Structure 1
Amino acid sequence: MQVKLRACTCINDASLEPRKQAHVEENLKRSRKCVYNFPYSSSCLEVVGDNTRKSRNVRQLQMATVLELKSYFQKFDVRYDDIQVVIPEKIRKASVLIPLLLVDGEWHVLVTVRAKSLRKFAGVVVFPGGFQEKADVDGVDTALRESEEEIGLKPDDVDIIAILPPTMVEGDICLTPVLAAIPSDFRPVLNTQEVLKVFYLPLSRFLRDDSVRKTWTFENEEVYSHTFTDIIDGEKMSTSGSVSSFCMLIALVVLQSTKLVSLTPKNFLDKDTAFAHHAEYTRQLFETKKILNKL
């Protein structure tokens, strides 16, 4: 029987005293499940073995730094002139913050569950965010303000990785996704009128093949919706819609995966094309709406 051990981080072996190193190795042999926090590395050591101790396979997984993530996402970042999208004034604007944090050396994404007392989408898994207000300077300002209001995340604790291309949701709302890194020790303070729960999942979870896929129509085109189900605090939680789609695409880039993701019957996306066509598609959509409004 194959036993998959928990991911763990490690310091350089040379930095351990010989007796301590021997103790670590002995513990690994005994339990095959241990976590070491190393200050100089963000790598994960994944050990796969069997309970007969016949063989073990050790694989080193390197997690990207925030600086590396910024370089990965630069080609999708709308702050660069060649992919800027001008959102028409009459379009309803909203923003979300997509917070990433390192947990046990692996990048996770933080999501919230909407309060059950809310009139729309009660109990649904979402990112922190909301509609843009007049006082907001831009989409980033909206995402930061809403995140502080909903979960107590201070703007100074947010390191923006990229502003991803806007996308249309619910038919007439233009959503700006702001991807950011937050401290691993962040402790949310919930606004219980809006948020029921906060939890985080490893990005690698969204590259597994256990989602339920459904087909629906948006702007006369078929698109796929992937639903991922997890048990959180003993309760079944489902991540779907645009939230799961963003998580899948972001996972491709963050983990530099070779996997392909399909969000429509016609296209497969990889780490280099994840958000490549979002900006142009949104521009075309705005142009179509402008023409229709003149009719």
Structure 2
Amino acid sequence: MDRYLLTQLLLNKPNSYSDALLQHPRFENDNFKPAAVLVPLVKRPSGLHLILTQRAPHLRHHPSQISFPGGKVEPSDLSLIHTAIRETNEEIGIQPSQIKPLVKLNTIPTISGYKVTPIVAIIDENYTTAIDYGEVSGTFEAPLTHLLNPINTTKHKVFNKKHTYELIFIPFEKKLIWGITAEIIHSMNYIST
């Protein structure tokens, strides 16, 4: 299944993630800041695992949320892939030589004014971390089979003025993955079936 999933990721990029969000008037203009996140997969004896981070609790935006490593594009970045790799190295210390990009997924607009491009990559199984505690409180791995299992996914509708948004929640151990991170993970279900 893991080999099949990787093949599907390379051959079938998802079409869209946030249709309801795109209909919001805020997204009619294109004043978004570009950003990229790494969707880091690591091969383990039990199968593929995702490496996730927990944001630092003192951050102004999204404190303590589970996320992928990444951030906004800097003028010196050569590409969105470069942004995702640079940010991963800065936040959690994985060396660029241990990151093998596979595919760039569709860009997702966020309510905070960013257009986030997920970059799926394979990480060397012997990677080590060096956490920047100014941004991240820690990292953990979660089995992809757990994260993609529909039994472990809950959807809730949220009403905001004239618009309805469907939020995805994926519990794992004592953590709750939601927001754009859960949306990216959930989108991988459509390309793994």
TM-score where L is the length of structure 1: 0.55
| Structure 1: unaligned runs, 5 residues or longer | 1-61, 79-87, 258-295
Query: 1:97, CA displacement in angstroms?
Result: 0.4
Q: Partner of 2:180: helix, strand, or coil?
A: helix
Query: 1:203, CA displacement in angstroms?
Result: 1.3
Query: 1:141, CA displacement in angstroms?
Result: 1.2
1:101 aligns with 2:42: yes
Identity of aligned residues (%): 22
Query: 1:123, CA displacement in angstroms?
Result: 0.6
Residues 121-270 of structure 1 correspond to what in structure 2 (within 5 A)? Answer: 121-170=62-111, 172-206=113-147, 207-216=149-158, 222-231=164-173, 236-253=174-191, 256-257=192-193
Query: 1:105, CA displacement in angstroms?
Result: 3.7
Aligned pair count reads 179
Q: Partner of 1:64: helix, strand, or coil?
A: helix
Distance 1:208 1:64, change over 3 A: same
Query: 1:212, CA displacement in angstroms?
Result: 3.1
Contact 1:151/1:191 (8 A) holds in 2: yes
Aligned-residue CA RMSD (Å): 2.5
Larger strand proportion of the pair: 2
Q: Partner of 1:76: helix, strand, or coil?
A: coil
Query: 1:151, CA displacement in angstroms?
Result: 0.7
Residues 21-32 of structure 1 correspond to what in structure 2 (within 5 A)? Answer: none
Query: 1:225, CA displacement in angstroms?
Result: 1.3
Q: Distance between the aligned counterparts of 1:90 and 1:158, measured in 2?
A: 31
Where does residue 73 of structure 1 map in the other structure? 10
Query: 1:196, CA displacement in angstroms?
Result: 0.4
Distance 1:189 1:251, change over 3 A: farther
Q: Distance between the aligned counterparts of 2:9 and 2:179, measured in 1?
A: 24
Q: Partner of 2:151: helix, strand, or coil?
A: coil
Query: 1:164, CA displacement in angstroms?
Result: 0.7
Contact 1:77/1:163 (8 A) holds in 2: no
**How big is each residue's C-alpha offset from its partner over 1:103-146, in whole Å with a ceiling of 9 and x where there is no partner?**
22401111100011212211100000011111112211111110
Whose radius of gyration is greater, 1 or 2? Answer: 1
Query: 1:208, CA displacement in angstroms?
Result: 3.3
Which residue identity is paired with 2:177? T
Q: Distance between the aligned counterparts of 1:181 and 1:92, measured in 2?
A: 26
Contact 1:110/1:199 (8 A) holds in 2: yes
| Structure 2: unaligned runs, 5 residues or longer | 16-28
Q: Distance between the aligned counterparts of 1:175 and 1:218, measured in 2?
A: 22
Which residue identity is paired with 2:156? K
Contact 2:9/2:103 (8 A) holds in 1: no
Contact 2:38/2:84 (8 A) holds in 1: yes
Query: 1:160, CA displacement in angstroms?
Result: 1.0
Q: Distance between the aligned counterparts of 1:238 and 1:172, measured in 2?
A: 23
Which residue identity is paired with 2:58? S
Q: Partner of 2:127: helix, strand, or coil?
A: coil
Where does residue 64 of structure 1 map in the other structure? 3
